[in-house]
Amino acid sequence: MSAKGKTRIGTRTGLKDNANEKMTSPPPTEKNDGKGRSWIAAGVLIAVVAAAVAISAREFVAMWEDPPIYPGPGITEQFMLSSIAPELAGSAADTEVYVLDGDSPGGTLLILGGTHPNEPASSLTAITIIENAVVNEGRLLVIPRANHSAFTCTDPQEGAPQTYVIETPGGDRLFRYGSRATNPIDQWPDPVIYVGSSGQALAGAEVRNLNRSYPGDSGGYLTEKLAAAILDLIRTENVDLAIDLHEASPEYPVINAIVAHENALPLAVEAALFLEFEGIQIGVEASPINLRGLSHREWGDATDTLALLIESTNPAQGRLRGAINSELILEGADPYYIRAAGQGLLYVPFSDAGHPIEERVGRHLDTIAMLTEIYSSQHGDQPIRISGLPTLSDLSVRGLGTYLDPSIRETDHSPP
Amino acid sequence: MKRRLGWMLIVLLFVSAGAAVGQEAEEAAAPETFAAPVVIVSVGQSAGAQQARVLAIRAGLDYVFEQRPEFSILEGSQTLILVMGASSKGLGAAGVDIDGEIAWAIDMVARARELEMKVIAMHIEGGARRGSTSDQIIHAIAPLADYIVVKGATPGVEWVESEEADANADGLFSTIAAENEIGITYIAKTLDGVEVLMDLFEIEPTE
Ligand SMILES: [Zn+2]
């Protein structure tokens, strides 16, 4: 960020100096001396600009690199989404799919993290699953960076950092804080009004929002191609239960909630009742039939999958927050939200404790565990049984970093 | 492992705690009993009625459930359970506004009365399902019932669950129950509603 700033200032000053020199160019008799000085000045200027461009270009291009994910003991296969959707090959929207095959057959679960890369608990939950889970019965597919392109930029004018760091026993680990929408460098320009593949008319910028692009179009915008590929995956893998992980700002009414397609509503309701019994308050909202383009609507309409979306609480994406930094992203504590809570403006409790990433990832993990447990009890012939996942209380005691320790994954595959 | 224990605990609670909840209910109001079959509907189109359906299944109640049915669904049943809770998205999807929804529910109760059915009003989604629209429903519908079940604090008893789970923090339900001399049971967790239903409908635990 600072390097980019320097680039601009350097360039502007340089141009101005250059112009001044032209206007006040010395008389011909002093031509030689003057020309020598300006050659030196120009040389220095070019060198400075070149250095600044090189530094900022490196930083800019570095954003296209993915921080590593360390496959855990349960991973049996890994492929790129383009292997089933060739139109994504070579594009920034292509993304990894991790497969965890169980010892015995059963149902298939798809977990989608990183639909909106400015909602960090979403992809962190998916990564925690990839690095820790073992499937005993059934099959699990995990996409940790669903909108991969959106991880390569941040939202304009939000002042969000490009990365944040989680402390692990094996050292600090870097993660990317991305944008809500596909990077404009990969999909541009936006239309004035986006009439989605679902037929819903939306503001133009939503054309780059993966969760408005379903059911998608393999010949459409890049984000629509991605949406179509994810639906293809659900179809070709016969996904029985599909969960899209999100976060919401504390002033947004649908928060700490499961949003369920009507086919999945009984499952969501029952899971929420038992989660409450375990001390986790989670609401259930039926997916509105007239709100098109969203995962919980279009996945369920287009396929037999039980489509669900889960929301946790992320003040960093809200409107009432202070500065976005690693602390706000990971601790979820913000004085302005405490004040807003005091005035009854929020849909979740908000205290000094904030909503730390452990709580948010833990809620997602416990909700996924409960949904699969209830699903398995309702579909005895198609069970999905997963072990090795930390719970909300594990995370609260040991910290998320314990379960994302790269040194463990690099050396052996035993769970922490 | 921990979760298995949790499930076993739940089963134990179902078997052993039924009696305790029953006593509480009797202290709160004259013993009131209801008869199956039951019709479960939503007033406000939130997911609360779906939750009530799960409670009915687990209580072993003979029921039919429809989010927003025709009145003909009432024929042949003994008790109508109205589950109150407004969802703007749910109302939008059903294509009705709040006034239309309340008028529909009042007509539904009138039809139930013609059929000599009893009526239970439930609010089981906690404080998160309180707000101006939900409150309009509660004010209009709860006083028409023979019994109220609410997830919220019993007056004078400290609430130990989370704040957002308490739908009776301002005493709205206790006030309506007292003013209209309606029996009421307060539950702390939605699943406690299973025992309440078993008690109200005199269902013996099968295990
Ligand atoms: Zn989101």
pTM (2 d.p.): 0.82
Residues of B whose CB is below 8 A from A276: 165, 189-191
Q: Compute the Cα dihedral for A42, A44, A47, A52 and give only its sign.
A: negative
A13 to each of A49, B106, B185, how far by Cα in Å? 11, 74, 75
Confidence of residue A191 (pLDDT cuts 50, 70, 90): very high
What b-and-e string marks burial along A143-171, b requiring 16 or more CB atoms within 10 Å of the CB? bbbbbbbbbbbbbeeeebbbebebebebe
A291 touches chain B (CB under 8 A): yes
**Which range, of A5-9, A182-186, A357-361, B67-71, averages the lowest pLDDT?**
A5-9
Q: Which of A132, A359, A285, A72 is nearest to B50 (CA)?
A: A285
Report phi then psi at A131, rounded to 5: -90, -10
The answer to whether B156 and B195 are in contact (CB under 8 A) is no
pLDDT (0 to 100) of residue B22: 46
Cis (ω within 30 of 0) for the bond into A189? yes
Tell whether the model's pLDDT for residue A373 goes beyond 60.
yes
The answer to whether A310 and A271 are in contact (CB under 8 A) is no
Burial class of residue A218 in the structure, from the number of CB atoms within 10 Å of its CB (0-12 exposed, 13-18 middle, 19+ buried)? middle
pLDDT (0 to 100) of residue A53: 92
Tell whether the model's pLDDT for residue A229 goes beyond 80.
yes
**Which range, of A33-47, B79-93, B179-193, averages the lowest pLDDT?**
A33-47
pLDDT (0 to 100) of residue B188: 95
Confidence of residue A10 (pLDDT cuts 50, 70, 90): very low
The answer to whether A295 and A407 are in contact (CB under 8 A) is no
Strand partners, B63: B38
Cis (ω within 30 of 0) for the bond into A215? yes
Does A277 contact B6 at a Cβ distance shorter than 8 Å? yes
The two tokens of residue A119 are: 């909602």
A76 to each of A72, A79, A80, A101, A129, how far by Cα in Å? 9, 11, 14, 6, 13
A288 touches chain B (CB under 8 A): yes
pLDDT (0 to 100) of residue B83: 98
Strand partners, A98: A78, A142
A351 touches chain B (CB under 8 A): no
C-alpha distance from A227 to closest chain B C-alpha (Å)? 24
Name which of B2, B55, B164 is nearest A349 (Cβ-Cβ): B164
Cis (ω within 30 of 0) for the bond into B37? yes
The answer to whether A100 and A117 are in contact (CB under 8 A) is no
How many Å apart are CA B148 and CA B145, to the nearest integer? Answer: 7
Confidence of residue B14 (pLDDT cuts 50, 70, 90): low
Classify the complex by whether its ipTM is higher than 0.95, answering yes or no.
no
Tell whether the model's pLDDT for residue A361 goes beyond 50.
yes
Confidence of residue A14 (pLDDT cuts 50, 70, 90): very low
Name which of A269, A274, A276 is nearest B50 (Cβ-Cβ): A269
The H-or-E segment that residue A330 falls in is: helix A326-331
Q: Which CATH number fits the domain A58-408, given the four candidates 3.50.50.60, 3.40.50.620, 3.40.630.10, 3.10.20.30? A: 3.40.630.10
pLDDT in tens, A238-295: 999 999 999 998 887 778 899 999 999 999 999 999 998 888 989 999 998 888 999 9
Domain ranges of chain A: 58-408
How many Å apart are CA A34 and CA B173, to the nearest integer? Answer: 90
Does B10 contact A265 at a Cβ distance shorter than 8 Å? no
pLDDT (0 to 100) of residue A190: 96
Q: Contacts by A332-341 with C-beta closer than 8 Å and gap 24+?
A: A332/A356, A332/A357, A332/A359, A332/A360, A337/A250, A340/A250, A340/A251, A341/A250
A340 CB-near residues (< 8 Å, 6+ apart)? A250, A251, A320, A346, A350
The residue-averaged pLDDT of A152-174 equals 93
pLDDT (0 to 100) of residue A345: 84
A33 CB-near residues (< 8 Å, 6+ apart)? A26
Strands A96-101 and A306-313: unpaired
pLDDT in tens, B34-65: 999 999 999 999 999 999 999 999 999 999 99
Rg (CA), chain B: 16
The answer to whether A356 and A330 are in contact (CB under 8 A) is yes
The two tokens of residue A394 are: 């594990």
pLDDT (0 to 100) of residue A343: 86
pLDDT in tens, A299-355: 999 999 999 999 999 988 888 888 888 889 999 988 889 888 888 888 888 888 899
